[in-house]
Chains A and B, each alone.
Chain A
Amino acid sequence: MKLEHTFRVPADLDTVWQAVLDPERVAPCMPGATLTEVDGANFSGTVKVKLGPISLLYKGSGEFLETDEQARRVVMKAAGKDSRGNGQASATVTVTLRADGSDTIGAVTTDLTITGKPAQFGRGMITEVGGKILDSFATCLSAKLAPAAEDSPKLAVVEEPAEDSTGPPAQTPAKPKLEAVPEPESEPIDLLSYAGPSVAKRVAPLVAVLLVVLAILAVRRLSR
């Protein structure tokens, strides 16, 4: 599954570049992620995910495959498996930075593969929550990079929908604006809550569609 997002951080290119190269600064900003070890270009850690009744603890490791100073591009690969055997996940993440005035815009391309229960049950909502997760990441990173002076930064994240040539228009994810809600580090990402009320405000149409689907399912069950 390919996901594409961009984020904006109110800091200059060099600062952000240094930050993304440093797992110890980046990782804590990834919701649910905890860094356990860093060894040069390699790092290992855990990611906690809640998917309704299913809670997963991905243990894994990652590495910087490429850091291109000129192109301001960094490519990371991370892979992990759930400690309870509920499946595996791996992602190749490409972050490309460019300056935009005093801010820095990051383009993030994620090539994600997941298997097992999360794939079976949560697959459909992942593109949907992906952008939201990155929002939290950007917010967190901004907070870390921005001086204390600007504690509640007004930020804007523009998300571009994942390339989806075949799917009907209804499938393109919504465009969330940034909301400064820093995630407590290493708290599990609750995918359902991500997809839930906080999204509802800004992706009313998509949520409506979801609700209709759920309603239909509910009715179908009742009619059984």
Chain B
Amino acid sequence: MTSTLEPEVGKARRRKEDARLITGRTRWTDNITLPGMLHLAVLRSPVAHARITRIDTSAALELPGVVAVYTASDLDPEGAIALPCAWPITPDMKHPRRPVLAADTVHFAGEGVAVVVARDAYLAHDALEAIDVDYEELPVVLDMEAALADGAPLVHPELETNRNALWVFDSGEAGTGGDVAAAIDEAGASDDAIVLTRRFRQQRLVPAFMEPRSTVVDPTGAQTTIWSATQVPHILKTMTALTLGLPEHKVRVIAPDVGGGFGGKIAVLPEETMAVLVALKLGRPVKWTESRSECMITAHHGRDQIQDITIAARRDGTITALKVDLIADMGAYLGLVTPGVPILGAFMFNAIYKIPAYRFACTNVFTNKTLTDAYRGAGRPEATFAIERIMDELAAELGMDPMRLREQNWIKHEEFPYTTVCGLTYDSGNYEAATGRAMELFDYEGLRREQQQRRESGDPVQLGLGISTYTEMCGLAPSRVLGSLSYGAGGWEHAAIRMLPTGKVEVVTGSSPHGQGHETAWSQIVADQLGVAFEDVEVIHGDTQSSHKGLDTYGSRSLTVGGIAVVKAAEKVVAKARKVAAHMMECSEDDLEFAEGKFTVRGTDKSTGIGDIALAVFAAHDLPDGIEPTLDAEAVYDPENFSFPHGTHLCAAEVDTETGRVRLRSYVCVDDVGRAVNPLIVEGQVHGGLAQGIAQALFEEAVHDESGTLTTGTFADYLLPSAADLPSFTTDRTETPATSNPLGVKGVGEAGTIASTPAVVNAVVDAVRHMGVNDIEMPCSPLRVWAAIHRRDPGGSGIGGAEAGGGLGSISSTEGGVQ
């Protein structure tokens, strides 16, 4: 029991799940094979918008090994099945029915029109070529502003508009702050103030998780069992029951080890629903596993916003108002939380700053493209990007140092808890500490001097410094807040602890890991709470039969909600054990102290270990009256507030003004995620997050051509960075414990992604600002950077779109031509 001598929480333990993951000893969904299992392949529309005039499946049915071929009319004759959207952000939100398979009209290139059921996956895929579909092409609308224009072609004519919803927050109306219009007019009229307006573009991204999506459905048992590579097994279970009208107790969902998600697996898929329908129809198990290109075309994308930002400030740098007008691309349909993703950013544009007046208005738009939904950060990276970019622009306009400007406006550490202009209460933070440490590690002053020298010497390679001082609201979420945002569910989490007769512990959690290391972190927490060995704790998750209750994993909620539920359950176990211990040692409960797994009678050396108590309770021969023979306990924890990690990220970028190439010279981040349960896992989350955030700034973009074909549908065209493309990160942490939970922890899963994108773009722009550049559209590829410098084309907009990954297929939606 050495592990109980020093606390487990805080130890940089290697992850106990990694051995099986790294050595391939685990079983992913696609590895599951059941007797008599059939394989599904989905025929996908090659066109973005068309009427289906004819589908002929007869030739496919003739092929060897093909068991069945189904279209919408077979699986959903009444056209009654609608895949769920759990977040109707406004009462009048326009909501098209999202079918399992397209019946008469396809709305984006990649939408399923038929499914082949065959003996093996190869036969199924071959048979797709034999299905003959006639498409009568309809006009496509791809550009968000074009979609909003009068007379634009309609994605869903029955909705009579491409506008999904308009969502507004106004601090004046909410009573949480001043009147934005008045504040901006005042600033505009005064010589002592300035008003700055900028338009930023959040390009479309592909979540690019490692394990493609896969589902296996077995209808032969008492319960219909669905294995799926999903982040949300519990939500999938309830939603499948609701969507198909199945009795929920007859549905079991299992999420085995899942190879990444980044939000891309927060979904109830047409393919999952389709697999259930086919399995029930045929009475046999079926499997669907997608290819990578199928994944890139059909799995939901992320980001894709146009951001019009207006900021007003006094000449001394004091911000007086912030106005945000967003247009957000929903794609062709609404997924589980699609319309709510930009709304998650509504409360974050004010970030760490004291802004007296704030207005946020977001217009959601339908286009003939793959739907968008949650992607790492979901709404908050977009918000952080816009505010941190405009802070640099404001600093440039005012001739102030960008860090100085931030310092002047941010919330001071002694001002916490601080209620923002959005009405959120930040529980704790210390922006000065994190920033101080980061500036020291980065050598800010030294780099500024070098930048000056390079400018004076006219060095073709210019140096730029980028800052991002971010916070985020995570740990989704207090149920009452979700309710006020008309979200379809709560934000609590469940945990249960089973004390086994041998003193070992089983922890059941409703959080559903897909790479985060919950098994390790939860074991560390329970080891401390119950005083048992780290090795003596097993974490059970992801199967609605064993882990029957939960709201799963997203929004950096696992530790700050699910982890706290584990603590609450452990407290109940100890409380139960205390009664038995008092009985066993014939003393009063009040005389007992519990530490390191032992109850000790105060002032004596008499003690009993929790393991002995577990055994005594198992035997149940001699228990106090009225005590149930069990120490097991469960808890459901609903957080009272969000979690607000913060930090300061600094990026130094070298920009070759002759080729437009960007090289990251150094990257320093100091994050404050409260107490770290496992610093190694925190480090891993930060590194991965940085890679994804930097990738948005420099590399990634999902590009559609003018007819709506995704031209970046391979990893040759859609550019993911490798370690060779990234600098070595300098990371450090400050610890300002959260006051909103007993562990003092904050979320970390999304922090790196949220913070890094603006730091990088700010650095690139800073490097060439003296050449008349004040924005470069993401990704800041060599072409865009070069064009911004040499054409003085603000943002490089209109040209850079031409090459996303630089691959063969990469073409912008507005132009043809060879790339």
Which residues on A are within 8 Å of B, measured CB to CB? 1-2, 81, 83-88, 113-117, 119-125, 127-128, 162, 164, 166-168, 171-173, 206, 213, 216-217, 220, 223-224
Contacts and interface: CB of A to CB of B under 8 A. Distances in A.
A127 B817 contact: yes
Interface string B786-819: 0100000000001100100011111100111111
B131 A120 contact: no
16 contacts: A1-B706, A1-B816, A81-B134, A85-B129, A115-B109, A115-B707, A120-B714, A120-B809, A122-B808, A123-B705, A128-B818, A168-B783, A168-B787, A171-B802, A171-B819, A217-B716
B359 to A, nearest CB: 34
Contacts of B716: 217
Interface stretch (B1-9, B40-48, B156-164, B299-307): B40-48
For A116, A119, A162, A167, the residue with the greatest tally of chain B CB atoms inside 10 Å of its CB is: A119
Contact of B799 (A84, A114, A166): A166
Contacts of A2: 816
A125 B818 contact: yes
A146 to B, nearest CB: 32
B815 A164 contact: yes
B222 interface: no
Interface in B81-135: 109, 128-129, 131-135
A216 B707 contact: no
B275 interface: no
B804 to A, nearest CB: 12
Interface in B677-722: 705-711, 713-714, 716, 719, 722
Given A124-B810, A171-B802, A213-B806, A85 B43 contact: yes
A164 B817 contact: yes
Interface string B32-71: 0000000000010011100000000000000000000000
B724 interface: yes
Most chain A CB within a 10 A radius of its CB, from B46, B716, B806, B811: B46
Given A116-B47, A224-B722, A85 B131 contact: yes
Contacts of B710: 120
A123 B709 contact: yes
- Chief secondary structure at chain B's binding surface: loop
B536 interface: no
A117 B46 contact: yes
A50 to B, nearest CB: 15
Contact of B724 (A83, A115, A223): A223
Given A116-B709, A167-B802, A224-B722, A124 B818 contact: yes
Given A84-B129, A113-B707, A123 B811 contact: yes
Contacts of A167: 799, 802, 815, 817
Given A120-B709, A120-B711, A124-B810, A88 B47 contact: yes
A128 B816 CA distance: 11
B640 interface: no
Given A120-B711, A162-B816, 11 more contacts: A81-B135, A84-B129, A116-B709, A120-B714, A122-B808, A124-B810, A166-B815, A167-B799, A213-B807, A223-B724, A223-B725
Nearest to A223: B724
B808 A121 contact: yes
Contacts of B131: 85
Contacts of B724: 220, 223
A121 B713 CA distance: 9
Interface of B: 43, 46-48, 109, 128-129, 131-135, 137, 705-711, 713-714, 716, 719, 722-725, 783, 787, 798-799, 802, 806-811, 814-819
A53 to B, nearest CB: 13
A85 B815 contact: no
A115 B128 CA distance: 17
B43 A124 contact: no
A173 B133 CA distance: 35
Nearest to A214: B808
A29 to B, nearest CB: 25
A124 B819 contact: yes
B699 to A, nearest CB: 10
A127 B809 contact: no
Contacts of B783: 168
Contact of B807 (A113, A119, A217): A217
Nearest to B798: A166
Contacts of A114: 707
A220 B722 CA distance: 8
A224 B723 CA distance: 7
B366 to A, nearest CB: 20
Contacts of A124: 711, 807-811, 818-819
A123 B711 contact: yes
B782 to A, nearest CB: 10
B46 A86 contact: yes
A172 B818 CA distance: 7
Contacts of A164: 815-817
A123 B809 contact: yes
B126 to A, nearest CB: 10
A210 B135 CA distance: 34
A161 to B, nearest CB: 9
A162 B817 CA distance: 8
B711 A85 contact: no
Contact of B133 (A85, A125, A220): A85
| A-B pairs, 6 with minimum CB distance | A116-B46, A1-B816, A87-B46, A223-B724, A84-B129, A119-B709
A173 B787 CA distance: 20
A125 B808 contact: yes
Nearest to B712: A120
B779 to A, nearest CB: 14
Contact of B46 (A85, A121, A220, A223): A85
A58 to B, nearest CB: 12
Contacts of A123: 705, 709, 711, 808-809, 811
B800 to A, nearest CB: 10
Nearest to B109: A115
A163 to B, nearest CB: 9
A206 B707 contact: no
A120 B137 CA distance: 18
Nearest to A217: B716
Contacts of B798: 166
Contact of A115 (B48, B134, B814): B48
Contact of A171 (B137, B706, B806, B818): B818
B612 to A, nearest CB: 54
Contacts of A125: 808, 818
Contacts of B787: 168
Contacts of B808: 121-125
Contacts of A121: 714, 808-809
B129 A115 contact: no
A42 to B, nearest CB: 18
A168 B722 CA distance: 28
Contacts of A1: 706, 816
A88 B137 contact: yes
Contacts of B810: 124
Q: Which of B128, B707, B787, B806 has the most CB of A within 10 A?
A: B707
Residue among A81, A127, A172, A220 facing the most chain B CB atoms (10 A cut-off): A220
A119 B806 contact: no
Nearest to A209: B818
A127 B109 CA distance: 23
A124 B806 CA distance: 10
In this complex, the member of A122, A173, A224 whose beta carbon has the largest number of chain B beta carbons within 10 angstroms is A224
Interface centre among A84, A85, A171, A220 (most CB of B within 10 A): A85
Given A87-B46, A115-B47, A119-B709, A171 B133 contact: no
Given A166-B799, A206-B818, A87 B809 contact: no
A125 B711 CA distance: 13
A88 B135 contact: yes
Nearest to B137: A88
B57 to A, nearest CB: 11
A167 B799 CA distance: 6
